[in-house]
Amino acid sequence: GYPESTKITRNKQCGNRLKVLVFRDSFTSNMIQFFSLHFYEVTYIWGHGERYVDKLKPDIIIEGYVERSTANKIQ
């Protein structure tokens, strides 16, 4: 049910139960280790899709795109 490049991490040692959804591109690849240290469950999805918000019901949503792509995301 997720795009092929989706990554899901779980960190039972982080001290919270926050679920995070990250819409990403290659810019966000270096942030995966950081986010995964601080949140219980993080789902990294390449691109964007509102259906994943309804499916996962995350506590936090992060859109991490390189600046040159921002204009394509804002409507």
Place of tokens 């001290």: 15
On the question of pLDDT at 74 being above 90, the answer is no
Amino acid identity for residue 13 in this structure: Q
Q: What is the pLDDT of residues 33-67, one digit of tens each?
A: 999 999 999 999 998 888 999 999 999 999 887 76
Look at residue 58 in the predicted model and tell me its pLDDT: 97
Look at residue 73 in the predicted model and tell me its pLDDT: 55
Interatomic CA distance for residues 29 and 37, integer angstroms: 14
Q: What is the pLDDT of residues 14-31, one digit of tens each?
A: 999 999 999 998 888 889
